[in-house]
Chain A
Amino acid sequence: MPPQANVPLPTGYQLDEYRIERQLSLGGFSIVYLAFDKEDTPVAIKEYLPNSLALRSTGDALPSIAEENVATFRYGMKCFFEEGRALAKISHPNVVRVLNFFRANETVYMVMHYERGRTLQEHIQKHKGEIRESFIRTIFARLLNGLREVHTHKLLHLDIKPSNIYLRNDGQPVLIDFGAARQTLSTDTPLLKPMYTPGFAAPEQYNSIRRELLGPWTDIYSIGASMYACMAAAAPQAADQRIERDQLVPAVRRWQDKYSRQLLETVDWCMHLNYLERPQSVFALQKALADKDRIVPRQTLLGHLRKKVKAFIK
């Protein structure tokens, strides 16, 4: 039986020092609200409420948590704290800012800066197939500044996709939703299955056993897939399916008349199934995005041979 959806807190509900305005989004793991603080400044509040473990019905503030789920519910909070910890240390214009963290209604809440604008996903839908090269270059170059800051803190976002890239009204992109973020080196949460989004998650994310393969290149795959989605106006083929049978048409072949070859090669570079073939750092990718004349490293000879041998064996 699929878990039921949770009922959000009602408009006007006084939550700690904040007044709930409305629900912004609902996920399996949390609800995000628009709310106002004491000074009437808008904030986004994320409520930890995994619907597989805790259910809130209409009219209640407190969720009901089955006895056998209490321990798991609490354990899942760790993941939520992880996100808070990750974001608390980062103060960057291209990364969503956390303002406060508190406990109420038997669960926990994270207060974030509320940005006016829309998600890149909404933008893609609105401008289907008409997104210009300069837009892609500018937005992603700026976004990568934020991602670089994230990686500098030894964190990976692990769920970059157009709906997690927010475009502020002033044109600055902001990386949001660090629900999947993990400390690169911490492996102390084996019980929590990683989150990933088909189409944007890198192949190595599907194989949770080999976590040591996750790295900056994992987020870079998702960046490439997001750029690809800007061009295609749809999500690219999921990486696990690409491993089975790669049906993804390389950007270079698909849009050769529409975008510069250098940009298309950059996208394909990011979306290599083999993580070693992708840009290994955000900086390397930024250089490619900033400089139109820069030559994108072609497939290495070794990689080319490997592919040949694989095709031969098959």
Chain B
Amino acid sequence: MKFTIYQESRPGKRPTNEDRIAYCYSRDALLMVVADGMGGHLHGEVAAQIAVQYITESFQREAKPDLKDPFLFLSGAINNAHHAILDYAADRFLPDAPRTTCVACIVQDSIAYWAHAGDSRLYAIRGGRILAQTRDHSRVARMVEDGLISAEDATRHPARNRIFSCLGGTNAPQIDFSKKTPLMTGDVVLLCSDGVWGPLPADVIPRAMSTGNVLQASPALLNQAEARGGENADNLSIIAIRWEDSYAEDTLGSVSTKTMPIDSFTTQMEAFAKARKGAQPLPNLSDEDIERAIQEINAAIKKFSK
């Protein structure tokens, strides 16, 4: 597994930073989480902290060194984090449980899996274009999707910050899961809170990531979002990776065959998955095994020759 990663969280112009972010990886699996504690509720940062900590700890317990079922992991970890927040509130007799959004992503075997609740986002970006993106759990975002209001209107809509799914709420969170998304070398996966995507026009994020240089592009994106956020800039958090795994390089099917001359239909083959599945040692093929296989084949050739 090979990747470049950048993460940063800033308070913006707010007195406290209620965003929490984390990433964590084992030899074969990577976890990234962004949680945006909700202001207006008590201790938003506590909810975000519990969520991030809980999911990270679950990952450390289960990714040995990879997860058996990443979606099952995400579902379990996020739901349990929700209950951990409720327990925290109950233990302290809080009148209302603190709340947070959450977006979490697992990458293993060059496949990305993610899940989210709320309006913290994940973008999968290939060559400066959005390959996949989370759908915010907010009525305003759905109204934009349905064409009832424009994206422009949405940035000013009074209910733009209201979300209908979160962790710590009275209702269990509605969690949306991604498709399994195979990554190619150079793909960028970016997780961020609404403080980042909110002030920026829709195409800025994918364009900023088109170079694939997450180490430079991510802080630049934060600067831009913070500047546009003005006096009221919200907390801003970002985690971005550039996937570098070379095993997927020659194989995934973004190859455009339309412009391919006919003499170039080459067979592409993935190199052996040596490091990725390193967990299982390769069965050793001894000299005797090779000799036996050759004898077997030659015997079959003789037998079936007419």
Interface of A toward B, CB cutoff 8 Å: 1-3, 27-29, 50, 52-53, 68-69, 71-72, 74-78, 81, 84-85, 88-91, 98-103, 108, 121, 124-125, 159, 161-163, 179-180, 190-193, 195-200, 206, 229, 233-241
- CB-defined A-B contacts under 8 Å, sample of 9: A50-B271, A71-B281, A74-B284, A75-B272, A85-B296, A85-B300, A100-B298, A161-B265, A196-B267
B residues 251-306 in Cβ contact with A at 8 Å: 251, 253-258, 260-263, 265-274, 277, 280-285, 290-291, 293-294, 296-298, 300-301, 304-306
Taking a contact as CB atoms under 8 Å apart, the answer to whether A125 and B257 are in contact is no
Taking a contact as CB atoms under 8 Å apart, the answer to whether B304 and A91 are in contact is yes
Residues of A within 8 A of B250 (CB): 2, 28
Taking a contact as CB atoms under 8 Å apart, the answer to whether B267 and A195 are in contact is yes
Taking a contact as CB atoms under 8 Å apart, the answer to whether A103 and B262 are in contact is no
Q: Which chain B residue shows the least CB distance to A205?
A: B253
Taking a contact as CB atoms under 8 Å apart, the answer to whether A75 and B263 are in contact is no
Complex CA gap A199/B265 in Å reads 8
Taking a contact as CB atoms under 8 Å apart, the answer to whether A124 and B262 are in contact is yes
Complex CA gap A93/B282 in Å reads 38
Q: Which 10 pairs from chain A and chain B are nearest by CB? A: A88-B300, A240-B253, A193-B270, A52-B271, A74-B285, A84-B297, A199-B257, A101-B297, A81-B293, A195-B269
Most A CB atoms within 10 A — which of B260, B262, B273, B304? B262
Complex CA gap A99/B270 in Å reads 28
Query: Chain B binding site: helix, strand, loop or mixed by DSSP?
Result: loop
Apart from A84-B297, A162-B265, A235-B257: 13 A-B pairs, beta carbons within 8 A:
A28-B268, A29-B269, A52-B272, A69-B274, A88-B298, A101-B297, A121-B262, A159-B267, A193-B273, A195-B268, A197-B265, A198-B255, A237-B257
Say how far B13's CB is from chain A's closest CB, in angstroms: 41
Q: Which chain A residue shows the least CB distance to B299?
A: A88
Taking a contact as CB atoms under 8 Å apart, the answer to whether B265 and A121 are in contact is yes
Residues of B within 8 A of A180 (CB): 267
Residues of A within 8 A of B263 (CB): 121, 125
Q: Which chain B residue shows the least CB distance to A68?
A: B274
Supposing A89-B300, A91-B305 touch, asked if A198 and B273 sit within 8 A by C-beta, the answer is: no
Taking a contact as CB atoms under 8 Å apart, the answer to whether A98 and B301 are in contact is yes
Taking a contact as CB atoms under 8 Å apart, the answer to whether A88 and B265 are in contact is no
Taking a contact as CB atoms under 8 Å apart, the answer to whether A235 and B265 are in contact is yes
Taking a contact as CB atoms under 8 Å apart, the answer to whether B301 and A100 are in contact is yes
Supposing A88-B300, A125-B263 touch, asked if A198 and B284 sit within 8 A by C-beta, the answer is: no
Say how far A76's CB is from chain B's closest CB, in angstroms: 6
Supposing A72-B282, A81-B293, A103-B294 touch, asked if A198 and B304 sit within 8 A by C-beta, the answer is: no
Residues of A within 8 A of B262 (CB): 121, 124-125, 162, 229, 233-235
